[in-house]
Amino acid sequence: MKMKNITIMDIAKEAGVSKATVSRVLTDPQIVSKPTRDRILQLMDKYSYIPNRLARGLSGSPTNMIGIIIDELANFFFIEIAEGIDKILSPNNYSMQISSSRWIYKREIDLVRSLISNRVDGVLLAPVRPDSQSIEILKRSGIPFIVMNCIPDDDSVSYVACDNTKGGELAAEYINSCKQDQVILITGFDDQCMQDRVKGFNYKISPSIPVEHFKGVNTLEEGYALVPKLLSDCNLRGLQSTLFVTNDNVAIGIINRLYELELKIPEQVSIIGYDNIKLASLCRVPLTTISQSCGSMGTIAAKELLDMVNCNARKTCSHLIIPELLVRESSRLPLYR
């Protein structure tokens, strides 16, 4: 069975059900038994099947709705991306339908299918992984879309992302120029962004500086909760330490806990974050961070998508935002300038 020729009848035949049952899975899935529904959805995933837009009447009037799928609704980074998107969409009379994958790959695919069924005019997708099947599904749907915060493996796909390797390099170069006894690297979800930040950091950090690495710390609350372990395992009170935290939310949680424990920032513990969310400059100790212009990522992506939607263009665009180091009060000054 060739993927490009897959039809609803092919899916029905292989699943051993009627065409009407497959249609119900697409339009009213709750009335189909879970075993049957799961079997049909697995076949759709297997063949990257999407409903024919013309056959389903999706080529009619525009809905003036843009679907947005991000990884995490509670993350200020994604909130600021959404604000940037809205600055472009609202004046152009477009509304947003925002959903979160919660970093769950299958959920992301289901959300993409839902947006297609809801007849959105375009999609802005922050995928869980650069080879996401969601990208192939969107390509086959014919709906204009742009990938955000990720460089897709498919170079025919439009994207807006940050040069995260460069961001990691900037942090390492700054740390190299400061005085410390140890460096602690704190990372979150092991996605493409995080891998690139770590790659850039490891490439530039001085081999003479000892580095401890704590993984899987993703939220402000988890950053706050990590501090006792840092105190016991890394002797923060006894050693002059620099923390490179690859997420501002986590860095702010760490700052709050250190402040409560009366550790001096940056004299005892110097902290560098990543993202430059709005709270970074407003926390108890203003945070030195790598800025990747969250809002700009949203505005650029929205502008490019509307161009595709309104001009029926299928050009490929690629925007790589160059990050910038913003030095504030949470880090020690370099030994040289």
Predicted pLDDT of residue 264? 95
* pTM score over 0.85: no
Tens digit of each residue's pLDDT (9 = 90 or more) over 147-180? 999 999 999 999 999 999 999 999 999 999 999 9
The secondary structure of 268-299 as a DSSP string is: TEEEEEEE--GGGGTSSSPPEEEE--HHHHHH
Q: How confident is the model at residue 52 (pLDDT cuts 50, 70, 90)?
A: low
Q: Which residue has the higher pLDDT, 230 or 19?
A: 230
DSSP one-letter code for 31:
G
Q: How confident is the model at residue 336 (pLDDT cuts 50, 70, 90)?
A: low
Q: Rounded mean pLDDT of 248-272?
A: 97
Lowest pLDDT segment from 12-21, 24-33, 80-89: 24-33
Distances (CA, A) of 157 to 120, 147, 152, 299, 309: 19, 8, 7, 18, 15
Predicted pLDDT of residue 133? 86
Lowest pLDDT segment from 127-141, 244-258, 265-279: 127-141
Chain CA centroid to CA 276, Å = 15
Over 80: is that where the pLDDT of 28 sits?
no
Over 60: is that where the pLDDT of 231 sits?
yes
Predicted pLDDT of residue 280? 96
Q: How confident is the model at residue 95 (pLDDT cuts 50, 70, 90)?
A: very high
Over 70: is that where the pLDDT of 136 sits?
yes
Q: How confident is the model at residue 55 (pLDDT cuts 50, 70, 90)?
A: very low
- Of 5-9, 52-56, 92-96, which has the strongest mean pLDDT? 92-96
Predicted pLDDT of residue 140? 79
Q: Distance from first CA to last CA of the chain, Å, rounded?
A: 64
CA angle 275, 156, 41 (to 5 degrees): 85
**Nearest alpha carbon to residue 140 among 10, 245, 44:** 44
Over 80: is that where the pLDDT of 16 sits?
yes
Q: How far apart are CA 200 and CA 214, in angstroms?
A: 17
Domain architecture of the chain: domains with CATH = 1-49 (1.10.260.40), 164-292 (3.40.50.2300)
